[in-house]
């Protein structure tokens, strides 16, 4: 096998095998089939890149087909947004199609299936049908309407089509096998009555086809050769093929369905229903809110199409589900913007700096490199004057040893400018610094070649000349959720994990070269991160969105929290071994503070569960987390694990484990009564005075 063949992903290998078996290359045809019931999100980007990537690789057409079979949830707004997103990502479709284009053909085929005894009208309620279908371990049974005559089915179906019945009164079902081990094959629905206005067909139809029926037949109409779906459709493949069997003409291409793993991203929700909830509940400001994982939200925030395509290429195409770290998406973004975004200076938390020995009224224009990663980017002129803004946290009056910014008596360089030295400060009545006075070395200008310019100093600061600064609104966006799996916890609502700091709005100042910046323009604010111009900008007021920081602060925080928990667990041993109660309390206090400082819910739950084992120190650690963390509660732990923790804790030889185990039980009303017998037994056998005192209170 050649190197190129080895690098093929499994879908490409399937296509290669098809071609090797004689399938004509000019018959290859793919499609991207979104339902227009919401905006596309980053998960869809993987499918988009896969399908359109195959089209480019094999020089085959790729259709954009809207599976618009549910007018109750679909809107033209979503159609328009999807098309805009695809074009922005850099892909062009061969034909724009709609499942609604085929409503008449689908209806005609349904009539044919009724005549062939393969479909019937069912008049049961949805509850009755659910009971009649059985369970995964129990076969279904034939419904009372399964053997209606062809004539009666045709009459009823025609009346359904004409709007003579209310919604929910009748459905058309395929007649397959009520005993099938695949529950999807137990006479699935083909049509339901819906008196809804359709965004394309208006009120022409009163019945609408179900997705499983329309999807494969639409593939067949369009002569799609390889119908690529995500893994949740594996069980649907049998039904996909059954519907094709009813209409297939062997002179035409028969579509085949193949499944790949969808994109699962941590710190994100991908459910359209939940994303719609965020919009409708005004948790975010619309589908294109820069905190949303939608393509339009990512675009507005400042992500590039190239970075999203690179991300999809990097994660690859696989058969097994896994969760991708959102940090990888940000890495692809930084890698792209690092090469293309101009470097500029902006100050977001300004404090005034006055160079006391710089001539009043004087100004000069310093040369600044636009992007050191791009030789063709050239240079620009930046105005310099006596009064500047710098970041407030770039100055401390008295600095610790490893503070590499400005302080009294210490020198730093102003980016592209001079070396300055902190001299004094002015404060207001509250003690807040309002002005920093410095002196500058006149011979130290960057790039001058002088001896002074070569001098090494502690650090380099960005700045903006007050006289020339342009005020701007800067929106500091962050992740929308603080948990890595916000919608995976049974006892939690995903909204419980909203990041209250996901948006901070500040008024900052930018250098004058940005005066003519346009919506979508991207920049690196030196030392601060990547920013782009938001669509809310107007001529009199620039608005910038923070796209990403220069470093992954979340990854750093995650590692810090993991390391902190591991270090804290080691301190448990010292606490347990300490015989002096006063000294033990001193050791315990930082352990408690560390636990309280951890925000990562999943990490806390995993740590508690992992430490439920026959080891006193581990049991103590789990109990301490459960007792002192404000981010995790007993209801968040699986019942089996929680019961095990209580049982083992009450039997522990270590008094501290018993104490904290009892304290946790006291707060857990749900499990309290289940442990009354064990607590009574403990009262009779307990020797430790602290435990006995605690038991008396219950």
**Confidence (pLDDT) at 602:** 86
Please determine, for residue 276, whether its predicted confidence score (pLDDT) is greater than 60: yes
> What would the pLDDT profile of 562-578 be if each residue is shown by its tens digit?
899 999 999 998 999 98
pLDDT in tens, 289-321: 999 999 999 999 999 999 999 999 999 999 998
Tokens at 320, concatenated: 């097994």
d(CA 690, CA 659) in angstroms, rounded, equals 8
The reply, when asked if residue 46 is annotated as ligand binding, is: yes
In angstroms, what CA-CA distances link 45 with 51, 216, 295? 10, 22, 8
| All residues at 6 or more sequence positions from 57 whose CB lies less than 8 Å from its CB, including other chains | 12
Residue of higher predicted confidence among 11 and 375: 11
Is 271 annotated in some ligand binding site? yes
Residue 230 labelled as part of a binding site: yes
Q: Verify whether residue 84 is a known catalytic residue.
A: no
Query: Residue 519: how many CA atoms within 13 Å on its side-chain side?
Result: 8
What span, in angstroms and rounded, lies between the C-alpha atoms of 40 and 394? Answer: 41
pTM higher than 0.85 for the full model?
yes
| Nearest residue to 437 via CA among 384, 380, 397, 492 | 397
The residues, any chain, with a CB within 8 Å of residue 159's CB and separated by 6 or more, are 165
Q: Which residue from 524, 532, 552 is spatially nearest to 371, judged by alpha carbons?
A: 524
Largest CA distance in the chain: 101
Q: Average pLDDT for residues 208-212, to the nearest whole number?
A: 97
Structure tokens, 237: 């493949």
Q: How far is CA 667 from CA 263, 638, 663, in A?
A: 39, 16, 7
Ligand-binding annotation for 570, yes or no, is: no
Binding site annotation covers 310?
A: no
H/E element, 695? helix 689-696
Is 47 annotated in some ligand binding site? yes
**Can you give the pLDDT at residue 1?**
38
Let me know if 439 is exposed, middle or buried by CB neighbors in 10 A (0-12, 13-18, 19+). middle
Query: For residue 461, is pLDDT > 60?
Result: yes
Tell whether 263 is in a known binding site. yes
270 labelled as ligand-binding?
Answer: yes
44: annotated binding-site residue? yes
Report pLDDT digits (tens) over 330-341. Answer: 999 999 999 999
Q: Which among 634, 629, 670 is positioned nearest to 649, based on CA atoms?
A: 634
The predicted-structure confidence for 72-93, as pLDDT tens digits, reads as follows: 999 999 999 999 999 999 999 9
Which among 31, 65, 272, 546 is annotated as catalytic? 272
Q: State residue 4's pLDDT score.
A: 46
Read off the DSSP letter of residue 408.
Answer: B
Angle between helices 326-340 and 305-315 (to 10 degrees): 140
DSSP 77-89: HHHHHHHHHHHHH
* Confidence (pLDDT) at 2: 42
3 state DSSP class of 366: strand
**More confident site: 6 or 531:** 531
Q: Mean per-residue pLDDT for 120-143?
A: 96
Instruction: Say if residue 264 is exposed, middle or buried (CB neighbours under 10 Å; 0-12, 13-18, 19+).
Output: middle
Return the pLDDT at 698: 76
Q: Which of 222, 189, 205 is nearest to 71 (CA)?
A: 205
Q: How far is CA 53 from the centre of its chain?
A: 23
Unique residue bearing structure tokens 């993987």: 46
Catalytic-labelled residue, pool 118, 196, 262, 392: 262
At 491, the pLDDT band (50, 70, 90 cuts) reads: confident
Report residue 531's pLDDT band, with 50, 70 and 90 as the boundaries: very high
Residue written as tokens 């300490």?
Answer: 578
Alpha-carbon span 622 to 51, nearest angstrom: 47
CATH number of 346-461: 2.40.240.10
Kindly state the tokens that stand for 183.
Answer: 């529950």
Flag whether pLDDT at 3 surpasses 70.
no
Neighbours of 672 (CB within 10 A): 14
Per-residue pLDDT, 541? 94
Taking Cα atoms as reference points, which of 372, 373, 511, 382 lies closest to residue 445? 382
User: Would you call 35 a catalytic residue per the annotation?
Assistant: yes
Fold of 102-212: 3.90.800
pLDDT at 259: 97
Angle CA 178–182–188, to nearest 5 = 55
Asked if 434 and 427 count as a contact pair (C-beta separation under 8 A), the reply is: yes
Dump strand ranges (E) for 110-182: 119-122, 171-174
Residue 41 is labelled as binding a ligand: yes
Per-residue pLDDT of 581-592, as tens digits, reads 899 899 999 999
Q: Does the 272-339+474-551 domain belong in CATH 1.10.1160.10? A: yes
Q: What is the pLDDT of residue 553?
A: 85
Confidence of residue 204 (pLDDT cuts 50, 70, 90): very high
Q: Which of 259-263, 352-356, 367-371, 694-698 is least confident?
A: 694-698
Average pLDDT over residues 118-138: 96
Q: How confident is the model at residue 599 (pLDDT cuts 50, 70, 90)?
A: confident
Per-residue pLDDT for 5 more than 80?
A: no
User: pLDDT digit string (tens) for 626-658?
Assistant: 999 988 889 889 999 999 999 999 999 999 999
Q: Which of 29, 35, 217, 291 is catalytic?
A: 35
Instruction: Tell me the percentage of the chain whose pLDDT exceeds 70.
Output: 99
d(CA 387, CA 464): 9
Q: How many CA atoms lie within 13 A of 72 on its CB side?
A: 11
- Sign of the Cα torsion 173, 177, 179, 183 reads negative
- Tell whether residue 144 is among the known ligand binding residues: no
| Interatomic CA distance for residues 479 and 123, integer angstroms | 48
In the residue annotation, 192 being an active-site residue is answered as no
**pLDDT-based confidence at residue 6 (cuts at 50, 70, 90):** low
Residue 524: strand pairing partners: 343, 530
Predicted local distance difference test score (pLDDT) of residue 511: 98
pLDDT given for residue 198 in this prediction: 97
**pLDDT tier, 555 (very low <50, low <70, confident <90, very high otherwise):** confident
The reply to whether 37 sits in an annotated binding site is yes
Instruction: Return the sign of the alpha-carbon dihedral for residues 448, 452, 458, 464.
Output: negative
Q: For 386-408, what is each residue's pLDDT tens digit? A: 999 999 999 999 999 889 999 99
The pLDDT value given to residue 686: 84
The SS3 of residue 301 is helix
From the CB of residue 590, how many other CB atoms can be counted at a distance below 10 Å? 12
Q: How long, in residues, is the chain?
A: 698
| pLDDT mean across residues, the chain | 95
Per-domain residue ranges for the chain?
A: 102-212, 272-339+474-551, 346-461, 555-697
User: Is residue 382 pLDDT above 60, yes or no?
Assistant: yes
Give the rounded distance of the alpha carbon of 79 from its chain centre: 22
């Amino acid at each position: 096998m050649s190197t190129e063949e080895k690098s093929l992903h499994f879908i490409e290998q399937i296509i290669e095998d098809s071609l090797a078996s004689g399938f004509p290359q000019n018959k290859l045809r793919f499609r991207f089939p979104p339902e227009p019931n919401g905006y596309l999100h980053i998960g869809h980007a993987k499918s988009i890149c896969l399908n359109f990537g195959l089209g480019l690789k094999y020089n085959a057409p790729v259709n954009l087909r809207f599976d618009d079979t549910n007018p109750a949830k679909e809107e033209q707004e979503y159609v328009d947004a999807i098309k805009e997103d695809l074009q922005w990502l850099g892909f062009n479709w061969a034909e724009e199609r709609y499942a609604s284009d085929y409503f008449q053909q689908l209806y005609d085929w349904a009539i044919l299936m009724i005549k062939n005894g393969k479909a019937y009208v069912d008049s049961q309620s949805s509850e009755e049908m659910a009971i009649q279908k059985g369970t995964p371990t129990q076969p279904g049974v034939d419904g009372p309407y399964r053997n209606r005559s062809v004539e009666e089915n045709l009459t009823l179906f025609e009346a359904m089509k004409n709007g003579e019945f209310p919604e929910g009164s009748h459905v058309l079902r395929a007649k397959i096998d009520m005993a099938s081990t695949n529950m999807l094959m137990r006479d699935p629905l083909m049509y339901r009555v819906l008196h809804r206005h359709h965004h394309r067909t208006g009120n022409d139809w009163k019945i609408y086809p179900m997705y499983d029926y329309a999807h494969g037949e639409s593939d067949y109409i369009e002569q799609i050769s390889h119908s690529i779906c995500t893994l949740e459709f594996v069980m649907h493949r049998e039904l996909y093929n059954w519907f094709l069997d009813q209409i297939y003409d062997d002179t035409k291409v028969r579509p085949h369905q193949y499944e790949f793993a969808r994109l699962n991203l941590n710190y994100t929700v991908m459910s359209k229903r939940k994303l719609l909830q965020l919009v409708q509940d005004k948790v975010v400001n619309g589908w294109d809110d820069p905190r949303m994982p939608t393509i339009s939200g990512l675009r507005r925030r400042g992500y590039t199409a190239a970075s999203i395509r690179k991300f999809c290429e990097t994660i690859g195409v696989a058969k097994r589900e896994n969760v991708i770290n959102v940090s990888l998406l940000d890495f692809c973004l930084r890698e792209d913007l690092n090469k293309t975004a101009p470097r500029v200076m902006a100050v977001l938390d300004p404090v005034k700096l006055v160079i006391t020995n710089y001539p009043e009224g004087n100004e000069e224009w310093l040369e600044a490199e636009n992007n050191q990663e791009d030789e063709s980017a050239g240079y620009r002129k930046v105005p310099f004057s006596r009064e500047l803004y710098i970041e407030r946290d770039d100055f401390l009056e008295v600095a610790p040893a490893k503070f590499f910014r400005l302080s009294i008596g210490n020198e730093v360089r102003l980016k592209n400018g001079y070396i300055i030295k902190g001299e004094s400060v002015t404060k207001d009545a509250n003690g807040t610094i309002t002005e920093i006075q410095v002196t500058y070395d006149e011979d130290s200008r960057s790039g001058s070649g002088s001896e002074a310019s070569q001098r090494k100093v502690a650090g380099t600061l960005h700045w903006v000349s007050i006289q020339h600064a342009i005020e701007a609104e800067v929106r500091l966006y962050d992740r929308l959720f603080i948990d890595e799996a916000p919608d995976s916890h049974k006892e939690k609502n995903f909204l419980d994990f909203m990041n209250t700091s996901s948006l901070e709005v500040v008024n900052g100042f930018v250098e004058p070269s940005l005066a003519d910046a346009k919506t979508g323009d991207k920049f690196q604010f030196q030392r601060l991160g990547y920013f782009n111009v938001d669509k809310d900008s107007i001529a009199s007021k620039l608005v910038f969105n923070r796209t990403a920081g220069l470093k992954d602060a979340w990854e750093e925080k995650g590692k810090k929290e993991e390391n902190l928990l591991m270090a804290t667990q080691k301190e448990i041993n010292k606490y347990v071994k300490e015989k002096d109660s006063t000294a033990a309390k001193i050791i315990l206090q930082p352990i408690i503070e560390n636990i309280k400082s951890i925000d990562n819910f999943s990490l806390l739950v995993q740590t508690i569960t992992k430490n439920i084992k026959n080891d006193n120190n581990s049991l103590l650690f789990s109990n301490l987390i459960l007792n002192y963390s404000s981010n995790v509660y007993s209801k968040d732990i699986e019942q089996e694990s929680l019961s095990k923790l209580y049982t083992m804790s009450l039997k522990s030889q270590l008094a501290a484990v018993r104490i904290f185990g009892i304290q946790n039980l006291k707060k857990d009303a749900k499990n309290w009564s289940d442990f009354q017998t064990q607590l009574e037994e403990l009262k009779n056998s307990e020797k430790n005075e602290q435990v006995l005192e605690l038991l008396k209170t219950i």
